[in-house]
Amino acid sequence: MKYFDEAQTLEALPFGSLIARLHEMFRAGCNVPARHVHRVESPSAAGTVLIMPAWTDLYLGIKTVNIYPGNRERGLPGLFSVYTLFDARTGQPIAQMDGDVITSRRTAAASALAASFLARKSSRSLLVVGAGRVASLLPAAYSEVFALESVQIWARNAVSAEALAGSLREQGVPAQSARDLQAAVERSDLVSCATLATAPLLQGKWLRDGAHVDLIGSFTPEMREADDDVFRDASIFVDKEEALHKSGELLGPMSRGIFDASDVVGTLQQLCSGQIAGRRGDSERSVFKSVGTALEDLAAAIAVYEFWAAHPMK
């Protein structure tokens, strides 16, 4: 059994090849049962365990995510995850790797993959709303699909936004922090939100004609990053149909009659397999809402395993 730490997992997942891996896995499909959620209670702590399986004919993978909000008081991250990969033909464990790296990189890669179908090919300006781990990866992922000339970073904490923009500039990304969210949105072809907001930050009236909106953060019914106008008269896509039942980003506007579930054009799997078309015109506003899927985790884990099989470590 092979063990791949954070650095080794990261090295095996450059965005160009990861986006291609996700495209192929969404096109081919795999088995993805519902995730298991378990509450863990003890006298000293309380947490939640998520167990996310997926498999193909050759590989079986399980991501285990431990969420412990009280870890902040211990000076520890609130989330830890590991990914275990098995031979699906025998059940034999073959690799274990860093689940946090897999999660963050496959999330950013999925956004870029969706944008490759949904955004204007001429898009050159990206606004990232948020300054956390996934937000920090979005410019690199999008740069694999678009020839970006401008990257703006906006966050509630202006210091965090400038710190991320500075880090990106050191990597050669043309990034600047933005103080005025409305002005930043009005200048952007691509708007990608990766926050934990519970009230809308992005307003539809700020978006330019033909903009593409990528919404990552809302994965519970209580969370929202965009107001109702973002969805009004937009072409709406999701990574999987489960998003319609778990994200406040969609549940809220649907409850107010802004759009119906039947108005959603389709899923990322349908885009990748060619079942549905992506963008239909330059003036069309597209919205992609993701909540994450174990299919993406499995694709990334297979990429890590096969990378190191082809590049044996000394």
Domain ranges of the chain: 2-102+295-310, 115-292
CATH architecture type of domain 2-102+295-310: 2-Layer Sandwich (3.30)
Q: Which pLDDT belongs to residue 314?
A: 53
Take residue 149 and report the two structure tokens written for it.
């000339």
The confidence score (pLDDT) of residue 99 equals: 97
Q: What is the arithmetic mean of pLDDT over 63-71? A: 90
Mean pLDDT, range 162-187, rounded to an integer = 96
Distance CA 250, CA 236 (A): 10
The answer on pLDDT for 226 being more than 60 is yes
Mean pLDDT, range 276-290, rounded to an integer: 94
Looking at residue 212, its pLDDT comes to 98
- Span 112-121, mean pLDDT? 97
> DSSP for 152-178?
EEE-SSHHHHHHHHHHHHHTT--EEE-
- The answer to whether 86 and 80 are in contact (CB under 8 A) is no
pLDDT of 77 over the 90 cut: no
Q: For residue 184, what pLDDT is reported?
A: 98
Q: Which CATH number fits domain 115-292: 1.10.340.30, 3.40.50.720, 3.30.450.30, 3.40.50.2300?
A: 3.40.50.720
Beta bridge partners of 81: 65
* Mean pLDDT score of the chain: 95
Over the stretch 2-52, which tens digit does the pLDDT of each residue have?
999 999 999 999 999 999 999 999 999 999 998 898 999 888 888 899 999
Per the listing, tokens 């008081």 go with: 73
Q: Please give the average per-residue pLDDT across 194-217, as a whole number.
A: 95
Q: How far is CA 301 from CA 185, 208, 255, 313, in A?
A: 35, 37, 37, 17
The residue with greater pLDDT, 219 or 243, is 243
pLDDT at 229: 97
Structure tokens at 279: 């963008």
